[in-house]
Structure 1
Amino acid sequence: MADGYRLTNLFGGAVQCPLPATFADVSEIRRVPDNQEVWLDTNGLTSVVFDILERVDGMSDVDALQFHLDDITEESGAEIDGEVTVLMKGEVRFQKQGTKAYGLLATSLPGEKQRGRDNEPDFVALLLLLVRLVEQATDLIITVNVPHVAGTYDSGEVKPEQGRYGGLLLRGLEIREKIIEGFQIVDWGLFGED
């Protein structure tokens, strides 16, 4: 695959998705749950996380998107009101798969688990995609995490709430678009189907 991306096999090849060639499988250095794939930029701090979760029933697709965002930010300890800001939300279509999905862009201040650590971010941009697989009773969540750590970006030029994204977030948006263009489920048996 040209342009610095490679077609990447996920979940034992059941899913294929273009990812930057500089991204590495985190499971090669630490344990990752079976329902998750985590890929990290070897030249930076951006990561892409793929989660296969039980479908959240009893709410609209947009509310399910918000539910999953809340779950992600709560895990990082950023659940205090005002620490998470949703900037964009809407419907998208995975081009190769032909599947409807929902996406959002949010920013999150560092949660308690991130505070005081090396490379503590000033904020993290979250590019979240939700694919609701009704027949499989599954929510597939794809999150592009873009930490903004002092010294890795020009804080005077980055104001996501004003549409000024800067290089790191623009790269995250590009990764999200490549995923939307090329994501494909090739083996539905991953979800318990024959």
Structure 2
Amino acid sequence: MPGEDCLVRPLFGGAITSCFPPRFQDVSNIREVPNHQEVFADPSRDESFIFELLDLKREVGDNGSAVWFLRDIANEQDAAETMVLEHSGTLEAVGLGCGGGPTIVTTAVGKMALTKGRQGREAQNLVRVYLANLRLKEVSTDVLITAYEPILIKISMFRNDPNPHSFSAYGFS
């Protein structure tokens, strides 16, 4: 994405904005997306972004919260071969606060074998997952920003879909 043009996108009815390449399409134009998520995908590259608003996980410490969420995603998606490749410590994002309090940010990068939709384990793809957790304690919210980048795509995933660039293969919830 370095060097690519970016498009400012309103998220969650304009409450938040972000900027990323226009090649990422709004998945809600294709299928229903839960109200607490904004999902964008580039079907030609099989890459995606998910912005998610969650109730603050008070039982999870700030340090390592991104790793906790990365492992939680792996568990929820029944990922195989999950590995945390790197993670940051905590940092306070000045000017990114909400409700007057500080925003604590942690990041993690992992590698997972994931299956999209209802396909079996034989169709698992190896993906790199980039996750940032922004903790807005003043409004009891964890913001997750997750990006999926394919490392190895199993060709069999498109067996039932004659158009490999359609969104029918996307099974994010």
Please state whether the residue corresponding to 2:150 is helix, strand or coil. Answer: strand
**Equivalent residues in 2 for 1:118-133 (5 A)?**
120-121=124-125, 123-133=126-136
Q: Report how far residue 95 of structure 1 moved.
A: 7.5
Task: Say which structure is richer in helix.
Answer: 1
**Structure 1 contact 92–101 (Cα < 8 Å) conserved:** yes
**Structure 1 contact 130–142 (Cα < 8 Å) conserved:** yes
Q: Distance in 1 between matches of 2:94 and 2:45?
A: 28
Aligned to 1:182: none
Aligned to 1:103: 107
Gaps of 5+ in 2: 98-102, 156-173
Q: Report how far residue 151 of structure 1 moved.
A: 8.4
Q: Distance in 2 between matches of 1:45 and 1:96?
A: 33
Aligned to 1:161: none
Aligned length: 145
Q: Distance in 2 between matches of 1:150 and 1:36?
A: 25
Task: Say which structure is richer in strand.
Answer: 2
The amino acid of 1:17's aligned partner reads S
Q: 1:151 to 1:4 in 2, by over 3 A?
A: farther
Larger RCO (alpha carbons 8 Å, 6+ apart): 1
**Structure-2-length-normalised TM-score:** 0.73
The amino acid of 1:54's aligned partner reads D
Computed over aligned residues only, the root mean square deviation of the Cα atoms, in angstroms, reads 2.6
Q: Report how far residue 96 of structure 1 moved.
A: 6.5
Q: Distance in 2 between matches of 1:32 and 1:142?
A: 15
Gaps of 5+ in 1: 153-194
Q: What is the identity percentage for the equivalent residue pairs of Structure 1 and Structure 2?
A: 30
Q: Distance in 1 between matches of 2:11 and 2:25?
A: 12
**Structure 2 contact 53–142 (Cα < 8 Å) conserved:** yes
Q: Distance in 2 between matches of 1:31 and 1:61?
A: 32
